[in-house]
Structure 1
Amino acid sequence: MKLSIQTDEDLTETEVLIRCVEVDEHIAAIVATLRIHDRRIVGKHDGTSVMVPAGDVLYFESVDRHTFAYTAGSVLEVTFSISDLAQRLEGSAFVYAAKGCLINLCRVTSLRPYVGGRLLALLDNGEEVVVSRRYAKDIKQCLGV
């Protein structure tokens, strides 16, 4: 793969152009990584509305009909359900880890087997997320494991 970067002071926003023979899983992963950094998540923290880049979110979790976004430094309550977030973030690095959990694959540093055919995903902040049997195969495939 050949990589080149051109700077242009006249541009008003960053443009990324990918030239390839075909769109394979590697190109799709690159596109997913780029897309995630262009999206923002709005949530509430201590009664204040906060916007964070989607790439900063480690995972989303639904608990008692409330959805939370977990970042390295905070927990935000978001108004969308897990299924709404999955649709909004489709094509990005967020995938289901369990029925009520979306995980950011860009933030996973390792996977290891866990009880009952599940997986334990270690995130780059040291936190662990359990991946259900239902989604374990998909996550392994996405990560090329």
Structure 2
Amino acid sequence: MRVNIIENSDTKEIFAEIHCTEVTAEVRRLESYIANFDGRIKGECDREVCYVEIKDILYFESVDNKTFIYTEDKVLTAELRLYEIEKKLSERDFFRCSKSVVVNIGKIVKLKPEISRNIIATLDNGESVVISRRYVPELKRIIGAED
């Protein structure tokens, strides 16, 4: 892949074009990544509306019909349901790893298989999330570790 940057003082906003011979899944993923590059998710913290950069999110968790956003230093309440978050961010390295958690794959630093066939994922802040055995095949597909 080749990348060109063209500086033009007349340009009103940053835009990107992708030139390809065929629109593949990889191209679609790149398109989604670029489109959401500066994306933020709206949440609530301390009864105020807060925005968090998608790249800073460790994971989302659904507890008692509420969805929480976890970052390095704060926990916010999300307006979106977990399935909506999964759909919106599936092309941005987010992956449903259990019935109640969507994790940022880019924040995973270690995977430890368990005897139960679950996997314990350690995130870059030291926190761990469980990847349910039901979702392990999808994780392997995403990271390119299929058997």
User: Shorter-chain-normalised TM-score: which range?
Assistant: 0.7 to 0.9
Tell me the amino acid that sits aligned with residue 130 of structure 1.
Answer: V
SS of residue matched to 1:130:
strand
SS of residue matched to 2:95:
strand
Cα offset, 1:62, TM superposition? 0.6
Alignment correspondent of 2:121: 121
* Contact preservation (8 Å) 1:36, 1:93: no
Q: Which has the larger radius of gyration?
A: 2
Query: 1:16 and 1:111 mapped to 2: Cα distance?
Result: 35
Alignment correspondent of 1:57: 57
Tell me the amino acid that sits aligned with residue 138 of structure 2.
Answer: D
Q: 1:123 to 1:48 in 2, by over 3 A?
A: same
Alignment correspondent of 2:89: 89
Cα offset, 1:141, TM superposition? 0.9
Q: Which runs of 4+ in 1 moved over 4 A?
A: none
Query: 2:102 and 2:54 mapped to 1: Cα distance?
Result: 12
Tell me the amino acid that sits aligned with residue 54 of structure 1.
Answer: I
SS of residue matched to 1:116:
coil
Query: 2:53 and 2:97 mapped to 1: Cα distance?
Result: 20
Percent of residue pairs identical = 33
Cα offset, 1:15, TM superposition? 1.3
TM-score normalised by L of structure 1: 0.84
Cα offset, 1:119, TM superposition? 1.4
Computed over aligned residues only, the root mean square deviation of the Cα atoms, in angstroms, reads: 2.1
Alignment correspondent of 2:99: 99
Alignment correspondent of 1:2: 2
Tell me the amino acid that sits aligned with residue 40 of structure 1.
Answer: R
Q: 1:44 to 1:17 in 2, by over 3 A?
A: same
SS of residue matched to 1:117:
coil
Matched residue pairs, number? 145
Cα offset, 1:10, TM superposition? 2.5
Alignment correspondent of 1:19: 19
Cα offset, 1:131, TM superposition? 0.6
* Contact preservation (8 Å) 1:98, 1:131: yes
Q: Choose 30-39 or 40-49, whichever is displaced more.
A: 30-39
**Which stretches in structure 1 are left out of the alignment for 5+ residues?**
none
